[in-house]
Structure 1
Amino acid sequence: MHLSHALTHRGTVRSINEDAYLELPHLGIWVVADGMGGHAAGDVASQLVIDGIQQAVEHLQPETITLDILKQSLISSNRFLQQMSEHEFDGKVAGSTVVVLWLYQDNYHLLWVGDSRIYLLRDQQMKQVTKDHSQVNDMIDEGLLQPEEAESHPLANVITRAVGVDSQLDIDYRTDNMKEGDVFLLCSDGLNKELNDVEIERTIKSGNIIDSGMALLHASLVRNARDNVTCILVKNTPKKINSIDDSDKTIPIFG
């Protein structure tokens, strides 16, 4: 059984929210997309990516969903965004990052493009299970930059992949085993711009997914949330509902 809680906010600086998200717990699918700020129609781009995935899977049964179906949805969105850029935005780029979490049976599956992230909290230890497609991350890989220098680097906002930018979409994916009690966090970079990994881990460990989600959003807003902020917390719970903590039984959805 999977419980989830999603929140999004435009932040304190941006005039519109270019983030979008999708929750399909009955299918085991959650998505966060972050439209590219400063480009044409970032909010349109992120919502198009979200809508594409929803339309691809909403008529399916969980056992018929595949990684290829999810990938093809992103490839179709990439093609459509390129056409929109050419015909509706005078050649200006309309792009979006995306992270997808798909849970089925005892496995979790991740797909991502860009620098939105997925974290996994397991046995009270959190780790980032996606890898940012960003200029600073490439510099870290090449030994030119230390990880602790990344957030403050002048190129921190430069991403190297996004849906809608190139004719060929390079999608990263990962599949691994899932454990009872695992908690996944999907987020746009507006969250990790304001909170470091230690702060995020401490917040997730401190309470149930509703309290943790509200605390993450509140903390980012207190720090003036320079970007849009979106987060989804997903908990893999025991199959018997009577063994679930009361505070996790009712999961409201915040838009």
Structure 2
Amino acid sequence: MHLSHALTHRGTIREINEDAFLELPYLGVWVVADGMGGHAAGDVASQTVIDGIQQSLEQVEPNEITIELLKSSLQNSNRILQQMSETEFEGKVAGSTVVVLWLDNDQYHMLWVGDSRVYRFREQQLTQLSKDHSQVNDMVDEGLLAPEEAETHPLANVITRAVGVDVHLDIDYRSDKVNEGDIFLLCSDGLNKELNDNEIQRIIQSENIIDSGLALLHASLVRNARDNVTCILVKHTHKVSSLSEECDKTIPVFV
């Protein structure tokens, strides 16, 4: 059984919200997309990615969902956005990052392009499962930059992959076992720009996904949320319960 809670906000500076998300707990699928390209292009790009995945899933039975289906949807959205860039946006880039989580029985599968992230909270520890496709992350890998310097580096906003940018779309994939009580966090980079991993972990430690989601969003907003912020919290459990039955616990909010 999967419980989930999704939130999005344009932030305190941006005029529009270029993020989009998909929440389909009955299929075990969740998606966050973060558009790029400014007004019209950015929000259209992220919604195109979301719509493409949803339409692909609507055409098959739940037991027919595969990684190949999800990848094919992203490849198709890549082609559509490249076409739109030429025909509707006068060559202006209409691109989007994307992160997809699919929970199938006791396995998780994730696909991603760009710097939107998936975290897993297990046994009171937060782990980033995705790896940012960004200029600063490449510099960290090459030993040119310390990990703690990445978020504040002048090139922190430069991503190296996005849906709709290149003819060839390189999609990363990861799969592993899910444990009882695992909590997954999908988010656009607007969240981790404002909160570091330790702060995110402390908020999620309550294991109440509704209160944690609200606290994550509130904490980013009180720090002036320079970017759009989207987060989805997903809890994997075999217990028969509902979101309303989640226990209330005190949750820290960072200011």
Give TM-score, length-normalised by structure 1: 0.94
Is this contact kept in 2: 1:4–1:233, CA < 8 A?
Answer: yes
SS of 1:241's equivalent in the other structure is coil
The one-letter code of the counterpart of 2:128 is Q
2:253 corresponds in structure 1 to: none
Alignment of 1:105-116 (within 5 A): 105-116=105-116
2:165 alignment partner in structure 1 = 165
8 Å CA contact retained: 1:115, 1:132: yes
Determine if contact 1:31/1:101 at 8 Å carries over to the other structure.
Answer: yes
Q: What is the aligned partner in structure 2 of residue 211 from structure 1?
A: 211
1:82 aligns with 2:79: no
Q: Does 1:2 align with 2:2?
A: yes
State the Cα distance separating 1:45 from its structure 2 match.
Answer: 0.2
Tell me the alpha carbon deviations over residues 101-132 of structure 1, each in whole angstroms, 9 at most, x when there is no partner.
Answer: 00001100000000000000011111000000
Q: Deviations over 1:51-79 (max 9, x none)?
A: 00000002422211000000000000000
Rounded Cα–Cα distance in structure 1 between residues aligned with 2:147 and 2:83: 37
Partner residue, 1:229: 229
- Cα distance in 2, alignment partners of residues 211 and 117 from structure 1: 20
The residue number in structure 2 matching 1:29 is 29
Percent of aligned pairs with the same residue?
A: 76
- Give the gaps of 5 or more residues in structure 2: 248-255
- TM-fit CA distance, 1:36: 1.0
| Deviation per residue, 1:30-67 (Å, 9 max, x gap) | 00000015476100000000000000002422211000
Which residue is 2:42 aligned to?
Answer: 42
After TM superposition, the structure 1 stretch with the greater mean CA deviation from structure 2, 127-136 or 60-69, is: 60-69
Are 1:39 and 1:93, in contact at CA under 8 Å, matched by a contact in 2?
no
1:67 corresponds in structure 2 to 67
Q: What SS is found at the alignment partner of 1:44? A: helix
Q: Is the 8 A contact 1:18 1:37 kept in 2?
A: no
Paired residue secondary structure (2:180):
coil
Q: Does structure 2 conserve the Cα–Cα contact (< 8 Å) formed by 1:100 and 1:112?
A: yes
Q: Structure 2: how far apart are the matches of 1:82 and 1:13?
A: 28
Q: How does 1:140-219 map to 2 (within 5 A)?
A: 140-219=140-219
CA distance in 2, matches of 1:153, 1:38: 22
Residue type at the aligned position of 1:201: Q
The alpha carbon displacement at 1:85 in A equals 0.3
Letter in 2 for 1:144: L
Q: Distance in 1 between matches of 2:105 and 2:25?
A: 13
- 1:246 match: 245
Residue 27 of structure 1 contacts residue 61 of structure 1 at CA under 8 Å; is this kept in 2? no
**Are the aligned partners of 1:120 and 1:126 in contact in 2 as well (CA < 8 Å)?**
yes
Query: Does structure 1 residue 19 correspond to structure 2 residue 19?
Result: yes
Three-state SS of the structure 2 residue aligned to 1:217 is: helix
State the AA in 2 paired with 1:247. Answer: E
Counterparts of 1:218 and 1:241 in 2: how far apart (Å)? 26
1:207 Cα shift?
Answer: 4.2
Partner deviation per Cα, 1:172-227 (whole Å, 9 max, x = no partner):
00010000100000000000000000000000012400000000000000000000
Distance in structure 2 (CA, Å) of the matches to 1:240 and 1:48: 35
> In structure 2, how many angstroms separate the alpha carbons of the residues matched to 1:245 and 1:7?
17
Runs (4 or more) in structure 1 with deviation over 6 Å come to: none
- Counterparts of 2:66 and 2:51 in 1: how far apart (Å)? 17
Contact persistence 1:115–1:133 (CA under 8 A): yes
